[in-house]
Amino acid sequence: MGTGRSVKVVKGAVDEAYFKLIQIIKRNNVVGELRLAKRHEKRGVKRRRLESKRWRTQFANEVRKKVQLVNEIRKQGA
């Protein structure tokens, strides 16, 4: 038996429960995992993909920090 995702339907609000389920699926990246699981991924390819993903995340965080710093400096009237 697999681990499924379930959402309670309260007072017949099926649409709300459906949207909550969609949010859970997006947050857990179910579609992305399914796409990756379709075919076997070699170890080296997986390693490079994960390194690239980590680098992109780190780069985005650094850019976000720099933008916040610039915005703070601008607020101070420089």
**Region 6-18: what's the mean pLDDT?**
91
pTM over 0.85: no
DSSP-derived secondary structure letter, 77: T
- What is the per-residue pLDDT across 30-70, written as a single tens digit (0 to 9) for each? 999 999 999 999 999 999 999 999 999 999 999 999 999 99
Confidence of residue 78 (pLDDT cuts 50, 70, 90): low
Dihedral Cα 24, 29, 32, 33, nearest 10 deg: -100
Q: Does the pLDDT value for residue 1 go beyond 80?
A: no
